[in-house]
Amino acid sequence: MKLINNLLIGIIPFFPKSFIKIFASPYIAGITDDEMLSTVANLNQEGYDVAIDILGEHVNTEKEATEITNRYSKLYDEISSRALNANLSIKLTHIGQDLGYDVVKNNLMILTEKAKEHKNFLRLDMENSPYTSETIKLYKEALELYDNVGIVLQAYMHRSISDMDSLSNASFNCRVCKGIYIENKDIVYDDYQKIRENYIELVKMGLERGSYIGIASHDEYLINYLYEWIKNNSIPKTQYEFQVLHGVPMKKTLEKLLKEGNKIRIYVPYGDNWYDYSVRRLKENPKMAGYIISNIVKRIFYFYK
């Protein structure tokens, strides 16, 4: 199946951009802020919380970094005024991390202050390895201003267990994901089962220390295994949530978890960088190609039947 998905990735660039948009749209929550906020409101009505991400990263100028920071800042205002159950999940390279520490720190403090103003939450996404240590440093700087800030650890990274060990406590808020960036094999696990094992260890360590853990995965084996462990160890529902990407077909599993009183947060990417995001994510996570091509095939057969 992995080989088939990799082959499908090679096909996708030959489809017209407008055609791809039709089938990528389930995974992208709109282009404009209003489109995205409407999607968030609908997800809230279905019982889901949301994490919002403006698509893009690695800005080239301070002007771009400031514009993105201001846009995120206004989103906090909109979330509050519309009474939405949503927070922000940002990439530090999108607000100037490549432009120098002072630039990104200044923009991060603006967003941290805005989150504090609205008593909301701010998540710092974890990007590829050159940024890991600095992201943790900036996370600690933000915590000095406001205690409702979280971070992400990636299960395929060798260092993540050490990072969880040093960071986790009763006030720590961490999303645990597998990791999607292409990295040197000296610093990541490339064995699927080993990544799963490390993922489980990370989640357990955080929960056992009283941390709040976002279990971010589409791997139903991991979800089921960890949910059983959580129940067997009497972990309170206020200490964790499950997180999935908008559009991934997991309705049955999500509805079951919601019915049993668990918090589910949908990660909602949006914006006019949807095409670059889609192609890049497909290359990093070939399984997504299977989802999209499956939708394309279904539509084609429906049209011609």
By annotation, the residues acting in catalysis are: 125, 175
Cβ atoms 118, 133 nearer than 8 A: no
- pLDDT for residue 31: 87
Q: Tokens 């064995």 identify what position?
A: 191
Q: State the greatest distance between any 2 C-alpha atoms of the chain, in Å, as a whole number.
A: 61
Question: Does 292 fall in a domain?
Answer: no
| Domain enclosing residue 87, as ranges | 29-270
Number of domains in the chain: 1
Q: Helix 101-117 and helix 132-145: axis angle, to 10°?
A: 40
Does 288 map to a domain? no
Q: What is the pLDDT of residue 144?
A: 98
**Does residue 304 sit within a domain?**
no
Q: pLDDT, tens digit, for every residue of 64-99?
A: 999 999 999 999 999 999 999 999 999 999 999 999
pLDDT for the residue 305: 37
141, part of any domain: yes
CA distances from 172 to 31, 161, 164 (A): 33, 14, 9
pLDDT at 118: 98
Mean pLDDT per 10-residue section of the chain, whose length is 305 residues = 56 63 70 94 98 95 98 98 98 98 98 98 97 98 98 98 98 96 94 97 98 97 98 98 92 96 96 72 57 48 37
Answer whether residue 112 is part of any domain. Answer: yes
User: What amino acid is encoded at 244 in this protein?
Assistant: V
Report field, pTM of the whole predicted structure over 0.85: yes
Question: Phi/psi at 59 (nearest 5 deg)?
Answer: -70, 155
pLDDT for res 92: 98
Residue 79 within any structural domain of the chain: yes
- Whether residue 14 lies inside any domain: the answer is no
The Cβ of residue 232 has, within 10 Å, a number of other Cβ atoms equal to 8
Q: Residue 132 is part of a domain; what is its CATH number?
A: 3.20.20.220
Residue 268 φ then ψ, to 5°: -115, 100
State the Cα–Cα distance between residues 110 and 102, nearest whole angstrom.
Answer: 12
Which tens digit of pLDDT belongs to each residue from 11-25? 666 666 665 666 566
User: Is 303 a member of any domain?
Assistant: no
